[in-house]
Structure 1
């Protein structure tokens, strides 16, 4: 192990590395905050500021500290994952010979039931916005695209005209990873009506590379998308215990695809998940009745005779 290396300097080096790898700003912020808080704990409790005095015991002490504060297992695990990313980098760069965070077990998380819209609510949401002008047509297309592709809020904002293919949309996800999501006939019809209004709108303003534009002809922000979905949910009378957000549209898409029989691996690819374990959470939220219906559709004897 290299001696006398300040942890703060190593963190700055690591942050530069993940910037070069085009990680999202959200990931960058999460890693920086969680790792910096860990370093503050080390200095306050153990007077540790350099790498040479650090071991997995100190990570365990930090996790115990977080448990005493009453933090949930999911939050603690996110901290551990961020620390593991940092120590993996140090291992790759040969600053250390083992990843200390890997020696600390993840917390057992409670089974989370992901609540989302039902089909009736989705039908109501799709009827909220008409196609009378550019803004209404744009909003109608945003709602339909979120529900019919499951893409993230930030991914939708970044869609450019050149990303729209004949029957698919090129999406740039986390870590700038590319994937394609299909344009269904239902979505294609709504996109066409949006594009007709968009063409009239840009003639009066100026051409812009982004697919969804603000009233000033600029790229939309995630905050604007949040407001559009929230307003849509209010007008559609969505249940009060359901959060009306772009991410809830993503939840709906995932659960609907699984209920309709698409395999977990394919759903995971369409959602742009890093691993299949994230997608499996949606399976936990599917009702037993839906599982029974799915089983009948895929019955070996029903389909093999």
Structure 2
């Protein structure tokens, strides 16, 4: 009953007002469509403007037997956002999700690498091949700039602002941010870009893409994953790692060396600092040192 109109209106809001990506909008929409399917299957005819807490609670109870707690929490969060939008647009005056609680989920701490382990991984790269110089530059960029693997493979030559000391990153939801780049990372990117990349037969549509495969196309995320895992096997590293492990290590090592959360948040491109706060759980010793060094009554 009129659900389609309000869903489309909500999708426009997510795209135009919040600047979310197509995938994120699709995920938000899927939660609402799941509720619509529940209503249809149970022959409940009610509009999004009239649906009440009791009906949604029935839906949440049904979903709880089909998905894990984390997925259930995501669905509830998505529905809360939808009904908050309806209130924002004055379509309805209350939020039927207001008293519905999300299940408690344990927050998984990200895996990290020690600096010595990162050094060993990079040292294991075979630099006698063209791909070796590329792989070294990629791993140095992943760790040196804290990029997501999707941001790494889509990085463009025109995104490099070496004179200013930054690279431009297009992250989730096509949001752009400028990330500082260290001289060492610049050095290895420059070596690859100037000495190796020109020898690759570049496909026209990837002429501005920085890291290329041997056929001149854009690398896939799976390929970067394979490169990293092959290096891990080569040095006998027992940890289960991925490209994202370098991003986690970047943030953790910055925090351990005194960087503030707000700066790390900006460099990682986290929309909310709550996401960045997970790194506070990684090193309790660091927190103790912050208190001892920064509290005004430390010496009393």
Per the normalisation by structure 1, the TM-score is 0.84
Partner of 1:31: 28
Aligned-residue Cα RMSD (Å) equals 2.8
Where in structure 2 are the equivalents of 1:1-305 lying within 5 Å? 4-5=1-2, 7-20=3-16, 22-45=19-42, 47-48=44-45, 50-69=47-66, 71-72=68-69, 74-166=70-162, 167-202=165-200, 208-239=207-238, 242-286=239-283, 288-295=284-291, 298=294
Cα deviation for residue 259 of structure 1 reads: 0.9
- Cα displacement string for residues 207-228 of structure 1 (whole angstroms, at most 9, x for unaligned residues): 7111111222122222322222
Structure-1 separation of matches of 2:91 and 2:124: 57
Count of residues in Structure 1 that have an aligned counterpart in Structure 2: 295
Structure-2 separation of matches of 1:199 and 1:210: 10
Cα deviation for residue 128 of structure 1 reads: 2.5
| Structure 1, unpaired ranges of 5+ | none
Is the partner of 2:97 in helix, strand or coil? helix
The worse-fitting range, judged by mean Cα deviation, of 220-229 and 267-276 is 220-229
Per the normalisation by structure 2, the TM-score is 0.85
| Structure 2, unpaired ranges of 5+ | none
Is the partner of 2:112 in helix, strand or coil? coil
Structure-1 separation of matches of 2:203 and 2:34: 47
- Cα displacement string for residues 228-281 of structure 1 (whole angstroms, at most 9, x for unaligned residues): 222232223222xx3321222211111111111111111111111111111111
The worse-fitting range, judged by mean Cα deviation, of 265-274 and 33-42 is 33-42
Cα deviation for residue 69 of structure 1 reads: 4.3
Is the partner of 1:179 in helix, strand or coil? strand
